[in-house]
Structure 1
């Protein structure tokens, strides 16, 4: 299997583990030196814009951002190429009375063993923040 198909398979497994709240299954998909940038660039979630690197940091990322709600991910388009796969994804995250919905592009890179070496999620932090602010103001 080519690495782009390995990346595509890993991306699908990643999303299944997130929706099942299976932290250990999700972490098992990553190489020891993997990098997660979610979102890509500088944001209040990642002041350096460099993402998090390594299993311990990725585990903390899960605890801080994934475990805080119920997440539904829908892959609308998946394009494998090279050693990577780019997915156009719709995400819905529910945290108590808050419901956040957003489209994003998530690019996964995989190594020869099919482990994720890089996960880059492209989405607008300000758009998500506006949704949260509007719901809190209305509530």
Structure 2
């Protein structure tokens, strides 16, 4: 008998796949209507309040300004589960900017899902200033 994959791990794998494929509709379908995305966690120009992108419309706007325009390669290195509905993932996101230029970002992402495996919260912990420093060196 085959064991079913952990719901939050499955959600993380799908999220990575759809983000790299540029499949906005499939990626958005992974989230509940009242989900919260914090990427990065804390105050940043992408989230001036530091409270995250709350609700499907805000998450869609996050896609449109951050994920959609990017050419991403996301590599998960290790996943840890916590209970039935949460996993933490050490992953690296590489954004290909063209002309041989790219940025690379180490992150710890935490996915929380509901009983159906839909994402209720995603928090990505990474250093915004480090990515900005990488971009300034490419200019």
Per the TM superposition, whether the score is higher than 0.5 is: yes
Secondary structure of the corresponding residue to residue 80 of structure 1: strand
Residue 129 (structure 1) aligned with residue 132 (structure 2): yes
Normalised by the length of structure 1, the TM-score is 0.93
Runs (4 or more) in structure 1 with deviation over 4 Å come to none
Secondary structure of the corresponding residue to residue 43 of structure 2: coil
Normalised by the length of structure 2, the TM-score is 0.93
Q: Which residue of 1 aligns with 2:89?
A: 87
Secondary structure of the corresponding residue to residue 132 of structure 2: helix
Q: Which residue of 1 aligns with 2:108?
A: 105
Between the two proteins, the alignment pairs up a number of residues equal to 135
Alignment of 1:1-139 (within 5 A): 5-82=6-83, 83-97=85-99, 98-136=101-139
Unaligned runs of 5+ in 1: none
Whether contact under 8 Å (1:19, 1:70) holds in the other structure is yes
Unaligned runs of 5+ in 2: none
